[in-house]
Chain A
């Protein structure tokens, strides 16, 4: 009897830690997801969602080329922004793990995450002050005589959106890559080079395969939130830098919840597809016996 009781208690203790997350994710995220799925198959009549089943919300997106075009443009921007983010984050994380003392590493990592202490909106707004016609870059260009008048191509276009996205998501990439590089045993590279491998070959055949889970994590942390971005393109993209998230937001702003839900789910399905593609790489990071 006693042992049954203690077994139940031990079971409760075992799963106790899961409870808050399960309530939060199951109750909030799960409920919201179910509601979104239902909404996407229902209709909005007179500003109210009514449970009249339809596939029209999905059909609509495949019949109007604006959405496909905007989605493709969004993917292109996200791909470029992710590649640039990693291109900047990787050398930085490498430098941090290889050439900086442990004491200074922590300080520098705090500097990397420092922007998180300011609001997201504020960080994006700050770029209006940097890229704007009276912004820091234009003032500099005029001061050094490169431009006679303010350059207008810095803001309200796709490159501006990509630049701000790189800035916003750089810390996520650095943290993921830093963890991977810090755990890597650098003597393996030395051994490979002792055995005749060039630096490039050692990096490609020894380093990269072992930090691949870190790279994949960085790509996921960076690219997936970017896919749903709508504030950054709204503030710095102008009419040329629109992303799919902006069109989804317009549906919700005008009470077209069913269309908005269908669009959001189509994006979510795409994200899940990316995750499936990356699953193998992530599985390598956590072997079954770990």
Chain B
């Protein structure tokens, strides 16, 4: 046989070997810390700083492996399937849902030295309390404001109703979040609980969106799309979180934010301890290291939205950021839990009705 010839057996061997190598490479570890001293942290991008994690590893001997969270639903379903995380982030009323399904375990706040740094409003949230225990460590919050370009929009659109004005035809850009959009429409049409609307309320919200649709340029999947549309002048109104600062950073036109008169939706999130995790002691050490005011202040400066840590607020004020802090409502944590003004993100009890209404509005 010719030595250089490729035999069928050789092809199959190489193929199988390559497939196995590719599979092993794809399953590869993250190269830091053993599974025992490592925290598997499923969270949003703005909940940590890489340099903070390095520092944590160096000074506290805690290794953190971060996985980005897509949304509350995905986190919820992953935990239900038994994916191995130790700490998971969730929004507002999703937290009781995690607890209800036995996915998280409450903790005793008295055991955490950083707990006292929180605003009292964040320490007394009814839906995050379980007796004397707490179900999540409050991190940050923000209402969804209506942002507008003041050089194009003379009268500030301070209500959802104002967005229906025909002058804004094709000039509004919204984030593509079906439940959030329906809930905002619920705010516009006076729904009692925008994330738990009745069928009649959903019908009213849908009618509002049908009327609003001609004014919507696009539903943006990523913040960058909204920034681009706004920067180019294609859009003049947006509802993306922290839009004024992001657009400024991107070198776009000025954007001003207003709270809608009818109320708005908002997020308030925190870190939860996964019930199946056996690293309770390590997790508590991690939370204490994670919620040091100095690091919270640094996180705020990188991702500016209100945090629940009062000590970090004072630190930032001392650093000369008071105007920014107060403009973003950092000093008003009670607003996050004022149901008349802010409807916090929650899993709709009738999700299919929300999705159907959304599709029926935004289909062709």
Contacts and interface: CB of A to CB of B under 8 A. Distances in A.
- Chains A and B bind each other: yes
Interface of A: 13, 16-17, 20, 44, 47-48, 60, 64, 66-67, 69-70, 72-74, 128, 132-134, 150, 152, 155-156, 234-235, 237-239, 242-243, 246-247, 250-251, 253-256, 259
Contacts of A128: 225, 228
Nearest to A152: B234
B355 A254 contact: yes
Contacts of B176: 234
Mostly, the B contact residues are helix
A105 B264 CA distance: 60
Contact of A239 (B73, B347, B362): B362
Nearest to B349: A46
A47 B363 contact: no
Given A239-B217, A250-B355, 14 more contacts: A13-B8, A17-B12, A20-B15, A48-B80, A66-B359, A133-B232, A152-B170, A239-B216, A239-B218, A242-B363, A247-B359, A251-B355, A254-B351, A254-B355
B67 interface: no
Interface in B324-364: 347, 351-352, 354-356, 358-360, 362-364
Contacts of B234: 132-133, 152, 155-156
Interface in B259-311: none
Given A44-B352, A47-B73, A20 B362 contact: no
Contacts of A238: 170, 216-218
A69 B363 CA distance: 8
A256 B357 CA distance: 13
Given A238-B218, A255-B73, A69 B355 contact: no
For the complex of A and B, list the 8 residue pairs with the smallest distance between their C-beta atoms, beginning with the closest: A66-B363, A73-B364, A238-B218, A133-B232, A70-B364, A70-B363, A254-B355, A66-B360
Contacts of B12: 16-17
B149 interface: no
Contacts of A242: 362-364
B363 to A, nearest CB: 4
A162 B312 CA distance: 51
22 contacts: A17-B12, A20-B19, A47-B73, A47-B77, A64-B360, A70-B364, A74-B364, A132-B228, A132-B234, A133-B233, A152-B170, A156-B234, A234-B219, A234-B221, A242-B362, A242-B363, A250-B178, A253-B178, A254-B354, A254-B358, A255-B351, A256-B355
Contacts of A259: 352, 355-356
A250 B360 CA distance: 11
Nearest to A255: B73
B213 interface: yes
Contacts of A256: 351-352, 355
A70 B358 CA distance: 14
Contacts of B354: 254
Given A132-B228, A156-B218, A247-B363, A255 B77 contact: yes
A60 B356 CA distance: 10
Contacts of B352: 44, 256, 259
Nearest to B179: A254
Interface in B95-115: none
Nearest to B218: A238
Given A47-B73, A64-B356, A16 B363 contact: no
